[in-house]
């Protein structure tokens, strides 16, 4: 099992790998077509997409987390009652 810190460190490379794989597959399918050459072309393009996505994710995701933290209301104190219309 991973510790919370290890899971946090593993999140960005895994997310970048999945997203770069999906996007590079879609773009390769558009450019090459759904034929026998698709798999080879995709496997050729995916490493380049990952090489771009990983550093971009390392730069962008911390800024997105900080922005969302600024826009997020803090959790209510334990024992406080929720009001009608409260979400979450």
Q: Is residue 26 part of a domain?
A: yes
- Residue 21 contacts residue 43 (beta carbons within 8 Å): no
Q: Which residues of the chain have pLDDT under 70?
A: 85-88
Residue 27 lies in a domain: yes
Residue 48 counted as domain residue: yes
pLDDT at 88: 57
Give the residue numbers spanning the domain of 40.
15-59
pLDDT on residue 17:
97
In a domain, residue 47? The reply is yes
Do the domain assignments include residue 82?
no
Per-residue confidence (pLDDT) for residue 65, from 0 to 100:
87
Q: Is residue 10 helix, strand or coil?
A: helix
Q: Is residue 7 part of a domain?
A: no
In a domain, 77, yes or no: no
- Provide the domain count of the chain: 1
| Residue pLDDT, tens place only, 33-50 | 999 999 999 999 999 999
Spatial separation of the C-alpha atoms in residues 88 and 62, rounded to whole Å: 24
Q: What is the pLDDT of residue 78?
A: 76
């Amino acid at each position: 099992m991973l510790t919370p810190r290890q899971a946090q460190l593993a999140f960005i490379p895994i997310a970048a790998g999945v997203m770069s794989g999906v996007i590079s597959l879609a773009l390769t399918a558009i450019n090459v077509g759904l034929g026998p050459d698709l798999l080879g072309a995709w496997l050729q393009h995916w490493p380049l997409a990952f090489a771009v996505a990983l550093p971009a994710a390392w730069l962008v995701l911390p800024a997105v987390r900080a922005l969302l933290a600024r826009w997020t209301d803090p959790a209510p104190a334990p024992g406080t009652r929720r009001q009608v219309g409260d979400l979450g």
